[in-house]
Amino acid sequence: MGLLGYLVAGVIVAALVWLVRHGPGSPRLATLVVFGLIGAAIGGLGANLARGEYFDHLDGTGFTAAVLAALVLLVGVDVRVRHSDD
């Protein structure tokens, strides 16, 4: 159940980044969703494994790590795509 929660967090963060940063030269929503899913899964599952929890355990720490990892990855993708046009 934890992985599903982390993936939902990744989709929500991706949608929020797209809404806030959408403009000319920004990545497509589908691209952001894919990277949001990847970042959230890595962040949430990585936090669980680092704390010695079962990898699919859902709690506040793992959820926070999932959101932060997705946000960092998505902002990086957004900045990279915007600066590749220069």
What are the pLDDT digits (tens) for 18-61?
999 888 878 899 999 999 999 999 999 999 999 998 878 899 99
Confidence (pTM): 0.88
Name the domain count of the chain.
1
Q: Using 50, 70 and 90 to split pLDDT, how confident is the model at 81?
A: confident
Between CA 85 and CA 63 the distance in angstroms is 34
- Nearest Cα neighbor of 66 from 85, 50, 84, 83 is 50
Question: Domain of 6?
Answer: 2-84
**At residue 86, does pLDDT exceed 60?**
no
Q: Which two tokens stand for residue 26?
A: 């920004």
Query: How far does Cα 63 stand from its chain's mean position?
Result: 11
**Residue 23 has which token pair?**
């403009």
Q: What is the average per-residue pLDDT within 69-81?
A: 91
